[in-house]
């Protein structure tokens, strides 16, 4: 088997637990989207072509609470703004011309990006693609389940809103083994907490990413 | 929301997500980046993940709020720390949150 194929397969295996958890996350999205007034087809279409959890949750909640489409799209852009530094980090590990590079940026999702990160500034792109593949499949499947069952479920009573942050906790915990990482995570949490009430959604996360500049010292 | 609003929202989110994910790989090309870049990238993951968690678990919209979901996420964190798989952890988060809301 070629090394690329082997990396891809390893990625699929590594992506599996996140894909399973993602099924629950996307099911909770499907329920919330229908509660917010989308049709099941629209909820599924959004997951298929947007495929970015935090942006989808943010956009839906803003429109559901009376915000404009422009405000919701702006919040989605801010939530996704973390993919900008993540894409820049991935860039040196990608081959090809502009269209191919743009396409290879699309499978970036948090779990895959973290796992494909080799720790020295380089990335295993085939592992990233492999890990995202099962996550995409379950993201669609879960959204469909949630959207179709939607009316019959009470998202709040079932605690579905706790699923999404718990999923990120699963990505964060292994990162905390190193003292520097733990200190950066704590500082980022404090930055984000202090901005929640004074900036639009998405800004606290983007501002907290600046804590990573701590890596510049030395 | 109306049909047209929903489709506009979906199209808008799709366009900005595509553009943001494409921007880094296209703008930087394949050129090698300096050493410090790798160190910053390595710290980006814990910073972003931790900020995403607190903004979900400690906020209702733009207000700080500690609730049943905060406890659920904390329980999931404790379980993960002890080596519980991620699928079990998200179920714990939902279960604890739902249980607390049921008794509240």
Are B89 and B76 in contact by the 8 Å Cβ rule? The answer is: yes
Residues 15-44 in B contacting A (C-alpha not used; CB under 8 Å): 16-18, 20-33, 35-44
Q: What are A126-159's pLDDT values in tens digits?
A: 999 999 999 999 999 999 999 999 767 787 888 9
Residue pairs between chains A and B whose CB atoms are closer than 8 Å: 327
The answer as to whether B15 is a domain residue is yes
The answer as to whether B86 is a domain residue is no
Q: Which residue of B has its CA nearest to A173?
A: B81
Report the half-sphere exposure of A45 (CA within 13 A, side-chain side).
15
Q: Which of A76, A89, A165 lies nearest to residue B53, judging by beta carbons? A: A165
Query: Given this model, what pLDDT does residue A74 score?
Result: 85
Q: What is the rounded end-to-end Cα distance, in angstroms, of chain B?
A: 31
Q: What are A43-59's pLDDT values in tens digits?
A: 999 999 999 988 898 88
Mean pLDDT of B87-99: 95
Q: What are A73-98's pLDDT values in tens digits?
A: 987 888 788 888 889 989 999 999 99
Query: Given this model, what pLDDT does residue B70 score?
Result: 96
Cα separation, A139 vs A141, in Å, equals 6
Cα separation, A31 vs A24, in Å, equals 11
The answer as to whether B52 is a domain residue is no
- A117 and A104 together in one domain: yes
User: Looking at the predicted structure, is the pLDDT value of residue A39 above 70?
Assistant: yes
Are A186 and A213 in contact by the 8 Å Cβ rule? The answer is: no
Query: Given this model, what pLDDT does residue A218 score?
Result: 57
The answer as to whether B16 is a domain residue is yes
Nearest to A86 by CA among A170, A2, A171: A171
User: Mutation test of the interface with chain B: which of A15, A58, A170, A199, choosing the one with the most B Cβ atoms within 10 A?
Assistant: A170
Cα separation, A166 vs A136, in Å, equals 19
What is B3-28 written as a DSSP string?
HHHHHHHHHHHHHHHHHHHHHHHHHH
Q: Is A186 an interface residue toward B (CB < 8 Å)?
A: yes
The answer as to whether B75 is a domain residue is no
Asked which of A142, A158, A174 is the last residue of a domain, the reply is: A174
Query: Given this model, what pLDDT does residue B49 score?
Result: 87
The answer as to whether B66 is a domain residue is no
Nearest to A62 by CA among A95, A100, A89, A33: A33
Q: Which domain holds residue B3?
A: 1-31
- A208 and A114 together in one domain: no
User: Looking at the predicted structure, is the pLDDT value of residue B96 above 90?
Assistant: yes
Residue A197 CB neighbours (<10 A)? 12
Q: Give the pTM.
A: 0.82
Give A146 to chain B, closest Cα distance, Å.
15
Q: What is the DSSP letter of A152?
A: G
Cα separation, A137 vs A183, in Å, equals 35
- Domain total in chain A: 2
Determine, for residues B25 and A94 on separate chains, whether the beta-carbon distance falls below 8 Å. Answer: yes
Query: Given this model, what pLDDT does residue B31 score?
Result: 74
Residues 42-101 in B contacting A (C-alpha not used; CB under 8 Å): 42-59, 61-64, 68-69, 72-73, 76-77, 80-81, 85-87, 89-99, 101
User: Which residues, at least 6 apart from B19, have a Cβ–Cβ distance to it below 8 Å?
Assistant: none
- Domain total in chain B: 1
- A80 and A186 together in one domain: no
Are A215 and B42 in contact by the 8 Å Cβ rule? The answer is: yes
Residue A13 CB neighbours (<10 A)? 12
Q: What is the mean pLDDT of chain B?
A: 90
Q: Is the dihedral of CA A100, A101, A107, A111 positive or negative?
A: positive
Torsions phi, psi of A155, nearest 5?
Answer: -55, -40
The larger pLDDT score, comparing residue A205 to residue A123, is at A123
Q: Which domain holds residue A118?
A: 3-174
- A170 and A193 together in one domain: no
Give B66 to chain A, closest Cα distance, Å.
12
């Amino acid at each position: 088997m070629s090394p690329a194929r082997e990396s891809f397969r390893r990625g699929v295996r590594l992506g599996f637990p996140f894909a399973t958890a993602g099924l629950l996350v996307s099911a909770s999205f499907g329920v919330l989207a229908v509660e917010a007034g989308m049709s099941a087809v629209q909820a599924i279409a959004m997951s298929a072509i947007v495929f970015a959890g935090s942006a989808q949750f943010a956009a839906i909640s803003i429109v559901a609470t009376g915000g404009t489409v422009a405000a919701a799209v702006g919040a989605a852009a801010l939530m996704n703004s973390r993919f900008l530094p993540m894409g820049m980090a991935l860039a040196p590990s990608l081959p090809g011309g502009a269209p191919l590079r743009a396409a290879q940026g699309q499978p970036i999702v948090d779990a895959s990006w973290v796992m494909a990160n080799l720790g020295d500034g380089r990335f295993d792109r085939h592992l990233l693609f492999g890990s995202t593949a099962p996550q995409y499949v379950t993201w669609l499947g879960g959204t469909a389940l949630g959207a179709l069952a939607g009316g019959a479920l009470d998202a709040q009573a079932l605690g579905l809103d706790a699923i999404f942050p718990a999923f990120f906790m699963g990505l964060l915990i292994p990162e905390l083994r190193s003292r520097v990482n733990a200190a950066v995570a704590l500082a980022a949490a404090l930055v984000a907490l202090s901005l929640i009430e004074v900036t639009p959604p998405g800004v606290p996360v983007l501002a907290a990413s600046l804590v990573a500049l701590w890596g510049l010292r030395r | 929301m109306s049909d047209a609003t929903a489709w506009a929202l979906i199209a808008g989110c799709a366009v900005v997500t595509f553009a943001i994910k494409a921007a880094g790989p296209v703008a930087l090309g394949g050129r090698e980046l300096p050493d410090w870049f790798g160190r910053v990238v390595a710290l980006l993951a814990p910073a972003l993940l931790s900020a995403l968690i607190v903004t979900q678990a400690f906020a209702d919209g733009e207000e700080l709020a500690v609730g049943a979901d905060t406890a659920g996420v904390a329980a999931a964190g404790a379980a993960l720390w002890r080596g519980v798989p991620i699928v079990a952890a998200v179920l714990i988060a939902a279960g604890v949150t739902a249980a607390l809301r049921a008794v509240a």
